[in-house]
Every structure is written in structure tokens, then in C-alpha cells.
Amino acid sequence: MTEEHAASTLPSRRLPSLMGRGRLSALVGQRTALVAGAVMISAIVLVSVMAPVISPYDPVDQDLRNALQPPSWTHLFGTDNFGRDIFTRVIYAAQVDLRIGFLCVFFPWVLGTILGGIAGYAGGVFDTLIMRTVDTFTAFPFLVMAIGVIAILGPGVTSMYIALTLAGWSMYARIVRAEVLVAKRSEYVLAARALGFSHTRIMLRHVLPNVITPTIIFAMTDIVLVILSTTTLAFLGLGLPPPAPTWGTMIAEGKSFIFTAWWMVTLPGLAIVLVGISLSLFGDGVADWLRERE
């Protein structure tokens, strides 16, 4: 299993202690965190999109005569065993890695919200069925699931989305269900029902807007861990096919060279750390802002 589960196995009643206090945002001030995070992420995206302008090299072209060069002014991060410029590969990889990371949070968020909403609102058999399924997926070994899904569907981003959605949705379902149970008993829902509004309308117009905020707050803390998970899968050989660069595969390829070419492992990882910190800042800022608005 991956880091992603650190958060997603947390039952909701224990969440506040993890999310509430002691965050980086408190350190630099809420607005500052939000702005700093947003600026850093935009900068990373910009660099990645501008990669062809920034770097004179191609991310997949081989130059076997210049293999395994240490970092220098011609090759900022050095070259790998095929003589490819590591800096170029790192900035090209950002696009792919960020997209996968965001979507691997988005899909579980959607699925979990829908199923958790149904479980909480409908109750009864639906509730039992969905919640036992949630428990099953929580206790299922993530790696068996990930390898299984990727083996069934073949390599590529789609398999990655499905594997991470199957692993991540259960936490969102738990949060939403708990919130819906509270909202269901609230006066405005009872009033709406007395007025004879349809279930769909009550659900979409009255319940959903009230339960969505905590899930976004959770997603903001989840996103860092999900990005780490996707790179972990790539490291295990379950990522995108070569020669396309991703940070996880670059580190995996560098593993057998750690004695002779440390830069192949260390430098691509710094990109992940940088993204992790920017997302922490941004996520904390957004979460605090949402919490304040409530």
C-alpha cells in the first residue's frame, strides 16, 4: 500500500486532530500559505509547459557517448545511462505527474461523495451494503489491487486512475456519509421534506452543498499523499511506458546506479519534494479558507 492510505484509513471522527492544527499555514499565515502555494505550483506548471523553450535537449533522445555525466553547466542535473539530460526529463515529467496526481484525487472524490451520499441519505440496506464495501476496500491490500488492475487493463494512465480510485474512494464515502447523517436531521431538510420536495432535489440542493466542504478540505491534505502514491507505483514499474519520463520511473531506473551516479536518483526526487511542499502550502491555505467561510 502507499502513503495515500495514511489519510484514507482514518475514520472521520478522528480527522479533525490530523487536519486542524499544527500546519504549515499557521506558520506563515493563512493567506501567505495560499498565495505562496499557488505561486509555486503555477511556476512549476509554467516551467513544465515551457520546457521546450527552456531546455535545448529532447527528453527521449539518446546520446550514448555522453552517458552518466555528473551535473555540470551543460547538463544541470547530469545525464542518465542513455545520455539523456535529466533536468529536461524532470521538467517534461512534471506535466504528466501533476495531471495524474490531480485526477487520482478527483475521481475518488467524485465516486466516494456519490456513494457516501447514497449510504447516508437512503440508509437501510444501501447503507449497510455500501459501508461494508467501504470496509472491504479499506482492509484490502492496495498492492494486490494495483497490480491486479494494471495487469487486467494493461499499462497506462487509465489503469492508474482506476487503481487509485478503487483504493481512495472509501475515505470520501465515510466523510460524506457522516456529514449527510447530520444534515438529514437538520431543520431545513426536515422542512424541505415536509414541503414534499423530491429526494433528488433535497439531496442536490440542500444536503450536498453542506457536506461538500469537509471533503474538499480532506482532498487538499490527500493530494500530496496521492502524488507520492503515483510516483511509488511508477517506481514499482507500474507507471507509464518508457521512454516517456515520469519522476517515479526515473528514480527506479537510477536505482542500479546509486553507487556510481547518485544524481539519477536524488535529483528527480527533489522535484517530488518541491511539488509536495507547494501542494501542502496551497492545500492548507484552501482548507483554512474554506473552514473559515463555514
Partner 1 sequence: MKRMTLRQTAAVGVAFAAALAAPANAQEEPRRGGTLVVARPADVNLWDPKYTNDNASLWAQHQVFANLIQNSADGLELRPSLAESWEISEDSTTYTFNLRQDASFCNGDPITAEDVKFSFDRATEADSNVSWQFPANPVVTVIDDHTVQIDIDRPNVAFVSYLTLWGSHILSKDYAEEVGPEGLAAAPMGSGAFCLEDWQKGQVAILTPNPGYWDPERPYVDRVEMRVVQDDNARILQLRTGEVDVALLVPFSQAASLANAPGVEATMVTIYGTAAIVPNIRNVPELSDVKVRQAISYAVDREAMIDAILLGNGEPAESPFYGPGILYHTDEFATGFDLERAKQLMAESSAPDGFEVDLTIPSGDEMAQQTAVILNDQLGEIGIQVNVMPVEAGTWWSMWSSGEFEMVYKLGTNDVIDPAMNIPFDFWPKDIGGSDSAFSGYANERIIEISVAAEGAQDPALREELYTELQQIAMEEVPQLYLFHPTIIYGTRDNVENFAVFPTKLHRFWEVWLSE
Partner 2 sequence: MALLAFLRRRLIQILPVLFGILLVVFMVVRLVPGDPARMMLGVYATDESLAELRDQLGLNDPIWMQFGSFLKDVATGDLGISLVYRRPVLEVVAERLAPTITLIAYAVILSVLVCIPLAMLAASRRGRRTDQVIRAGATLTLAMPGFWLGLNLLIVFAVVWPIFPVAGFGDTLIDRLWHLFLPALTITLALAPILIRTLRASIIEAMSAPHVEFARTKGLPAGKLMRRHVLRNALMATVTILGVNIGWLLGGSVVIENVFSIPGIGNLIVSSVTARDYPMIQGIALIFGLLVITINLATDIVYALLDPRVSYD
Q: Which residue ranges make up the site for partner 1 (CB under 8 A)?
A: 60-62, 64, 67, 81-82, 147, 150-151, 154-155, 236-238, 241-243, 253, 256-260
Complex with partner 2: residue 91 or 227, whichever CB lies closer:
227
Residue from 72, 135, 182, 209 touching partner 2 (CB under 8 A): that is: 135
Query: Rounded to an integer, what distance in angstroms lies between the CA atom of residue 160 and that of residue 24?
Result: 30
Residue with smaller CB distance to partner 1, 61 or 135: 61
Contacts of 1 (CB under 8 A, 6+ apart): 141, 142, 143, 167
Q: How far is the CB of 270 from partner 2 (least distance, A)?
A: 9
CA distance to 38, 82, 154, 218, per residue, from 29 (Å): 14, 45, 45, 20
CA pair distance 294, 289, nearest whole angstrom? 9
Q: Is 276 in the site for partner 2 (CB under 8 A)?
A: yes
* Cα(161)–Cα(143) distance, integer angstroms: 14
- Phi then psi for residue 35, to 5 deg, are -65, -45
Q: Based on the shown chain and the rule CB under 8 A, indicate whether residue 24 belongs to the binding site for partner 2.
A: yes
From the list partner 2, partner 1, none, which binds 81 (C-beta under 5 to 8 Å, kind-based)?
Answer: partner 1
Q: Taking contact as CB under 8 A, which single stretch among the options 78-86, 116-124, 130-138, 182-190 is the one that binds partner 2?
A: 130-138
Rounded distance between C-alpha atoms, residue 137 and residue 143, angstroms: 12
Element spanning 289, H or E: helix 263-293
Rounded least distance, CB 265 to partner 1, Å? 12
Task: Determine if 156 is a binding residue for partner 2 (CB under 8 A).
Answer: no
Angle between helices 30-49 and 263-293 (to 10 degrees): 140
Only one of the segments 34-42, 43-51, 119-127, 228-236 lies at the binding site for partner 2 (rule: CB under 8 A); that segment is 228-236
Using the minimum distance from each CB to partner 2, give the nearer residue, 118 or 171: 171
Whole-number Å distance between alpha carbons of 280 and 222: 9
- Interaction between residue 123 and partner 2 (CB under 8 A): no
User: Integer distance in angstroms from the first to the last C-alpha of the chain?
Assistant: 34
Q: Which residues make up the interface to partner 2 (CB under 8 A)?
A: 1-6, 9-11, 14, 17-18, 20-24, 26-27, 132-133, 135-145, 147-149, 151-152, 224, 228, 231-232, 235-236, 248, 251, 254-255, 258-259, 262, 265-266, 269, 272-277, 279-280
